Amino acid sequence: MKRTVVLFLVILFISPLTARAEVNLSGRVKLFSSLFLKENTEGLYFNHDSGEFAFKRIEARLRLSGFLSDQISYSVRFDSFSQPDALFSEWRFPESSPLGAPAQAEPFDFFLYEGNIRITDFILDGLDFTVGKQRIQWGTADKVNVVDNLNPVDFANFLTFDPDYFAERRPETALNFEYYFSGFTKIQLVWLLSRQIAPLPYNFSDMVTHDLMPSYVKIETEKKLLQNTNVGLRFSTVLLNTDLGLSYYRGNFGLPRLYGVTPTVINGLEYSYKYPQREVLGLDIAGEIFSLGFWAELAYVRPEDVDGFAFISIPVNGGPSLVKKTFSLFEDSYFKYVLGADYTLDIGTGIYLNAQYLHGFFDETDYSSQAQSLFGFKKGMFFGEIENYILASAEYSLLRDKLTLELGGLVELSGEGHSLAFMPSLEYKIKDLVTFQAGGFMVSGDEDHTKFGSFKKDNILFFALKTDF
């Protein structure tokens, strides 16, 4: 019913627009399917047989964009994901819901991915104002932007290993003011009307408590108050032929942080999570030296002072007794950074190389030593300590760019071990606007001390078929 209302509203929205102004319609239909190559019965994140489908879904996008006047434009994007298989379990037939909605027999999701209006020269000459759900560029690195805390990483889709969603960020609802002193120098103020919350994978709660059952996850929420909104400020310019940006963000961690563990009689261990606040000062640059492209980002992060707590057992009168211990959850401040470069080797039609050295993945932070020892935070785990990575890819196009071969990879250097994730893929343009893609996600290395190594038994092969219109 809810979806019907949304669809009705979409049609209602489109009709007057098409009558009054030009509307550009575009979109995509994509089938993504992946298979596990090995059996994994004790996986940290996935349990499966060899040859079992990991994901099989159809994605459809519809974008409407256009102008209401010379200075006012709009863009709306709806996304839909559909799982073509009916839900079949030991206790449920693939029946539709009582009202005949097909969502259970053929589950699908439909939502507003993006919807914004942009007004150029708003109030003042040189002031552009974008309001609504939008992606905001913040930084210069290739995907792994450590200074970008405005658009949370889509952690749910990250674990599909669909290359289109690798470290992909989600649009947020914001008021975005960009004032241009000149075409290259601007100051940008972004007011985000809510906290930035990254989408988490299905069954995330089970994942975080997997090893200590029975357990219970409690998430601290806050009221939707004016003071609980986030803000970003960025100054950017070009200096000595180098793009330069300085930024400030005050907001929350996009991923939940464990700050307390309480033993309870009813629930067993109760894990307390929250989305703490932080301030981030950022510096980003991009340019070229001797035709080698380069970029760098540095983020100085100051998390709020969060009191973590845990109950520890101490001997009292010869017997054990639980005592609540509180401590600072985070270090006072810490750095994250990324350095990257790209170059095209003049071999054949040209081999494009791209490499980045990353200190601090999007989910990592610097915990206090007490939090590390009591909660087990360490390098080599999701939501763990900051570690280092090398991300690299080589791309080669053949047949007049109809066929593109890419060997992507990631080396995780956790300190206690390392892992290597290979992401080879090929993309073939069957026709103009129709693309076939196939590839894999294969991991080797230390299974126990690296986060990507933990996917060692979850190697997948995938293929995708995309049609744009």
Binding site for other proteins (CB under 8 A): 22, 24-28, 65, 67, 70, 73, 75, 118, 120, 128, 134-137, 140, 178, 180, 182-184, 186, 238, 241, 243, 286-288, 291-295, 342-344, 346, 349-350, 352, 397, 400-401, 432-433, 468-469
Strand residues in 83-221 grouped as ranges (E): 108-119, 127-134, 172-180, 186-192, 215-219
Residue 298: enclosing H or E segment and its boundaries? strand 292-303
Q: Which one, 3 or 28, has the nearer CB to other proteins? A: 28
Least distance (Å) between residue 127 CB and other proteins: 11
Q: b/e string for 153-184 if b means 16 or more Cβ within 10 A?
A: bbbebbbbbbbebbebbbbbebbbbbbbeeee
Q: How far is the CB of 184 from other proteins (least distance, A)?
A: 6
Name the β-bridge partners of 74: 66, 117
Which of helix, strand or coil describes residue 63?
Answer: strand
Q: Looking at beta carbons only, is 82 or 185 nearer to other proteins?
A: 185
State the alpha helices, DSSP H only, in 262-322. Answer: none
Q: How far is the CB of 344 from other proteins (least distance, A)?
A: 4
Min dist CB 348 to other proteins, Å, is 11
Of the pair 83, 242, the CB lying nearest other proteins is at 242
Considering the complex, what minimum distance in angstroms separates the CB of residue 286 from other proteins? Answer: 4
134/419 with CB nearer other proteins:
134
Q: Which is nearer to other proteins, 120 or 267 (CB)?
A: 120
Give the nearest distance from C-beta 26 to other proteins in angstroms. Answer: 4
Residue 211 or 432 having the CB closest to other proteins = 432
Which pairs with CB-CB distance under 8 Å and at least 24 residues apart come from 116-121? 116/74, 116/75, 116/76, 117/68, 117/72, 117/73, 117/74, 118/72, 118/73, 118/74, 118/75, 119/71, 119/72, 120/71, 120/72, 121/71
Hunting for tokens 């270090």 — which residue is that? Answer: 331
